[in-house]
Amino acid sequence: MSGICEGRVVVVTGAGRGLGRAHALAFAAEGARLVVNDLGVGLDGTPGADSPAGQVVDTIRTAGGEAVAHGGDIATSEGAASLIHTALETYGRLDTLVNNAGFLRDRMLVNLDEDDWDAVLRVHLKGHFLPLKQAAAHWRAEAKAGRTPEARIVNTSSGAGLLGSVGQGNYSAAKAGIVGLTLVAAAELARYGVQVNAIAPAARTRMTERTFADTMAAPTTGFDAMAPENVSPLVVWLGSPASAGITGRVFEAEGGRITVMEGWRPGPTVDKGTRWGAREAGEAVLKLLEEAEMPGPVYGA
């Protein structure tokens, strides 16, 4: 029986380790041909000594699949263009883009350097935008030429982007931005046959060692709820034709749990019909808050 991504060409960024690696292997197992992107940097974004993308490609090829490595910096226009060009030059098409690359530079806000803010926003948010832009331009051209694709983009947000996370102001801001980018891209690109969704995964990776310190150890028996491979089936499905009609959504995924996240929407409201006084507005707000649902707690608070 063929896989649900048989014949599709899938690009995964940050696919050398952790979630990205798990996604790439899962797509390959479902028949996809892969472009495995990884810059090979350390947890904080500094250059690493090995080539994890090449290792993932070797694993896929050994299992009988097709894959090529890409080591460019996808947070640059040149690197993002090269990424999409690699898929088109190697396989002649592009079907799915999974934006996953990222790293951490955690600090409390008063200790957070401007460089650490810029670096994390750059790799997460800009590193989503530029590959998305390049892929979307290709798919728009295809649609205008009468070859409307069944294209998919899966972005990677985080619970930190949905609720906030103490000590991760830069990361939380970037991941929240990815949700906004996902919603806009889903609305703008639907006419070209492109669906755009996001996941907020929780899994054992280099990036989450401190965040999930109390639950990181893999169990000796039974189901390993923190394994990154648990998240990948949802990503593969979202990246396949089987997800037709699903766009502009955010899903939380952890272990065996999948949750549809419901974002900002109007809650209790009051309209005076004219301008409020400051004291009067405050009294109205206090009454509204009594009726409103409490937000989820910030991670680490």
CB 34 within 8 A of CB 12: yes
- Residue 212 φ then ψ, to 5°: -110, 40
Q: What number of CA atoms fall less than 13 Å from residue 273's CA on the CB side?
A: 0
To the query of whether residue 165 is one of the catalytic residues in this protein, the response is no
- The 8-class DSSP code of residue 220 comes to S
Could you say which of 175, 192, 240, 243 is catalytic?
175
Q: Amino acid identity of 175?
A: K
| Per-residue buried b or exposed e for 131-163, using 16+ beta carbons within 10 Å of the residue's own CB | bbebbbebbbebbeeeeebebbbbbbbbbbbbb
The pair phi, psi for residue 216, each rounded to 5°, is: -75, -35
| 299: annotated active-site residue | no
Q: 126 an active-site residue?
A: no
* CB burial string 50-61: b at 16+ within 10 A, e below: ebbbbbbbebbe
Strands of 257-261's sheet in order across? 67-70, 33-37, 9-12, 96-98, 151-156, 194-202, 250-254, 257-261
Q: Which of 82, 171, 232, 243 is catalytic?
A: 171
Q: How far apart are CA 216 and CA 269, in angstroms?
A: 42
What is the Cα–Cα distance from 91 to 152, expressed in whole angstroms?
17
Q: Which of 82, 158, 232, 243 is catalytic?
A: 158
Tell me the backbone φ, ψ of residue 93, rounded to 5 degrees.
-165, 170
Catalytic residues: 158, 171, 175
